[in-house]
Each structure stands twice: as C-alpha cells, then as structure tokens.
Amino acid sequence: INTAVVTISGTGIALNTPVQVINVAPSYKQLVKVGTDKAILAFENGSNINLYCVSVSGTVPSYGSLATIASASKPMFAPNSTDKCQIAYIGSSGWYSAVVTTSGSTITVQAGVQINYDTNYSYRYIMMFQITTDTFMFWTHWGTVQYQSRNRYRAGLITVSGTNTTL
C-alpha cells in the first residue's frame, strides 16, 4: 500500500512520489480525510483491520503508529470532524461501528457497538452516511439492523456522544 499527494494547479494535475505504508496487498482498503493535511487509512491485513494516520507535510505523506481491530474485516468510513471519523466493520457476529480519533499521528479506536446481525457478511450493499456531525445512517439491503430475529430494519441511526457510539 502506497499513498501519495496529488497536486492540482489550474487544469493540471501531478502525482507526487508515492510513499509505502506497508508491504501487503489487501483485498479491501479505505481512506477518510480527518483534517486539512490528515487522513486515516484502514485495510485488511490477514484477519485484522490495520489503521494508520496519514499526515502530509508539503507533498510528502508520513505515517503514525499502527492501530488494529482484531478479527475484523471490510472497514467502511464516514467522516465526522477534524481528528474524528466513524468506522463500520465486520466483527465476530455481524457489523459493528466505533469512533476513531487521532491525536497527532496516534489513532485510537473505541469499543465497537454491534449494529447489524448480517450472517452473510456481505459488504457490497452496506452503506454508512454522515447526516450531521456525530449522526450517521447505516443501511443494508439484508434488513437485519438492530434486531437479530423479528422486527428487522434496513436502516439505523448511529449517534455519537464524545467517543461513545449508540444505535
């Protein structure tokens, strides 16, 4: 995995020199902007999700320390505010969501809250959208949001208070 800064000037675009994050070829990766010159990169690495803070100085990206969500896959981000975003991912028994914060180049992932009981583990028809700061909609075509058996819903409202996630 490499990241690079793209510079736009008028109608021209230039790709600056890529910098390698890690020597893996994951099947799934996501990047979300969390500040003027900062983003969070998440990708599958074996049976875990690895997260790095990507900071840019001039045209050169650099990386902070590694954060890991164990036994998880298919990271999906929604931006929230400066130094904060919301992640959804597949965990042990369905989809979970958590707040991800950065302080400098260090990432902290809060404890995940189960938001979906999708046993098919499909991610192609799963979406998470920011509605306002600290408010998100999670949608799935499987219709298993919030309840494990009866009264299934296709969408749920995720709210954040500080670093706590609630469905």
Q: Check pLDDT > 90 for residue 83.
A: yes
Mean pLDDT of 59-63: 92
pTM of this prediction?
A: 0.88
Q: Check pLDDT > 70 for residue 140.
A: yes
Confidence class for position 25, pLDDT limits 50, 70, 90 = confident
Residue 95 CA to residue 49 CA, distance in Å, equals: 13
Residue 153 CA to residue 103 CA, distance in Å, equals: 36
Beta bridge partners of 79: 85
Q: Residue 128 burial (CB < 10 Å; 0-12/13-18/19+)?
A: buried
Confidence class for position 147, pLDDT limits 50, 70, 90 = low
Mean pLDDT of 37-57: 94
Confidence class for position 123, pLDDT limits 50, 70, 90 = low
Half-sphere exposure of 122 (CA within 13 A, CB side): 11
Beta bridge partners of 68: 50
- Quick one: pLDDT at residue 97? 96
DSSP string, 90-106: EETTEEEEEEEEEETTE
